[in-house]
Structure 1
Amino acid sequence: MKYEISQRFFFDAAHTLRRQIDTDSSARIHGHTYQSEVALRGTPDPATGMVVDLGALRAELKSLRERLDHRFLDEVDGIGAPTLENLCAYIVEALAGSGLPLCRVSVWRDGIGDRCDLWLDQD
């Protein structure tokens, strides 16, 4: 059986965005509280009963959060245009070397109801 476990974290950050709609307000520096969830999929280890020790995931997310929290996202290397889609891809890339069996990364903003889910192919 495959299990999915996840951990959430949040970060507050500012950005600008060039778009076709809401151009004035998006182009000005503004901020959001972003929520993110990182999901892992796998079979629990018979010895531990865990897919992954959530402490290991929390340590990775703590380091990642420090790179995003209270930052101007336009200046964070590797994000590109600070869209929800690019934030999901950035998180995946940041966790790529961790060895964690990522299956999904989500980023959303409760304040305005936007959400993006990035599903990763797994065997």
Structure 2
Amino acid sequence: MRDLDDLAHRIEKFTDARDWRQFHTPRALALALVGEVGELASELQWKADSELVGGISDDLRARLADEVADVLIYLIRFSQVCGIDPVAEAHAKVTRNEDRYPVAQSKGSAAKYTDLPQA
């Protein structure tokens, strides 16, 4: 997790050096994050799954990597502004999902936990 802490610190320093805190409201950051996720999705929008089965081209991988970086940067910044520890919250969410999606009922199924057969 040290790498994530280092990145978060670097993002904060980058922001502060440019006096951008004033623009980094939760709403503004959430909208920027949505925009970047949209840009990530647009790289794959018109590609069939069968086109990607054999692997992703170097050119597409580079574009995807750039968009993934933007998404991560905005997610980290949003978390900083809102006082959220994204790693702790992700661990808590996985724990909840382990309860919601027991292996015996969910293995191989894409059903939502509310639609899984009861044990």
- Give the TM-score taking structure 2 as reference length: 0.28
Larger helix proportion, structure 1 or 2?
2
Q: Which has the larger radius of gyration?
A: 2
Larger strand proportion, structure 1 or 2?
1
